Amino acid sequence: MKKVLIIIPTLLLLSGCASMSPIEKANESESHLKNAVYKGQDFYQNEDSIPGEKYRIFHQASTGFSGTSGIRRAATARANEFCQNIDSTKKMLTISEHTAKPPYVMGNFPRIEIIFACVDKNHSNTISNYSKNDKYDDLKKLKELLDVGALTKNEFEAEKRKILE
C-alpha cells in the first residue's frame, strides 16, 4: 500500500510538467522562452527570405531525462500535419529553432520552439531556393548540439545516421 502511495504522486508530478502549445502565427504571438529563467540558445536560423505566413510551435519535455531530439520530432510532426491540414501539397520548412541548454535540472527541461512556414512539397526546387542547407550543414549543427550538451552521444549518433541515409 505504501508503494502505491509513493508511485501515484510521483507519476502525477512527472506527467504534469509536459507542455505543448497550440500552433500560432509568429507575428501574433510571443516566444514561450521570452521570460524563461533558463533562456536556452538559438540552434538554427535560416538566413533566406521565405515568403508567406510564419508560425510558432513550442514543446517541452515532462522530465529532464528526455532528449531534445524526441521533442524536436514531435514538434516537427505536428508542424507538418498543420501544414498539410492547410493544404495537402504543403510541408513545413524550419525558419528558426530555439532549444534549452543543459543541465536539465530544477525545471530546466528539454524544450524547443520552432518558427516555420508552410511551403509547397511537390516542387523540390521551391524548398531548395529557400534553404541552402545540405547534409554537411545539418551535421555541423548536430555536432554543435553535442558539444554544448543538448544531445547525448547516442542521440547524436542516431540523428547522424538519419542525415547520412
Say what the pLDDT of residue 81 is. 94
Say what the pLDDT of residue 112 is. 87
Question: Using one digit for the tens of pLDDT, what is the confidence trace for 14-67?
Answer: 444 456 678 988 888 877 666 665 566 676 677 677 778 999 999 888 776 777
Residue-by-residue DSSP string for 47-99: -S---S-EEEEEEE-SSTTS-HHHHHHHHHHHHHHHHHHH-TTEEEEEEEEEE
Say what the pLDDT of residue 33 is. 66
Say what the pLDDT of residue 12 is. 41
Number of other residues whose CB lies within 10 A of the CB of residue 31: 13
Say what the pLDDT of residue 123 is. 53
Residue 84: pLDDT over 70: yes
**Using an 8 Å Cβ cutoff, are 108 and 60 in contact?**
no
Which residue, chain included where needed, has cell 531534445?
A: 68
Say what the pLDDT of residue 1 is. 55
∠ CA 131-141-88 to the nearest 5 degrees?
A: 40
Say what the pLDDT of residue 39 is. 66
**% of the chain residues with pLDDT over 70:** 67
pTM attached to this predicted model: 0.63
Question: Using one digit for the tens of pLDDT, what is the confidence trace for 4-14?
Answer: 455 555 544 44
Say what the pLDDT of residue 80 is. 93
DSSP state, 108? Answer: -
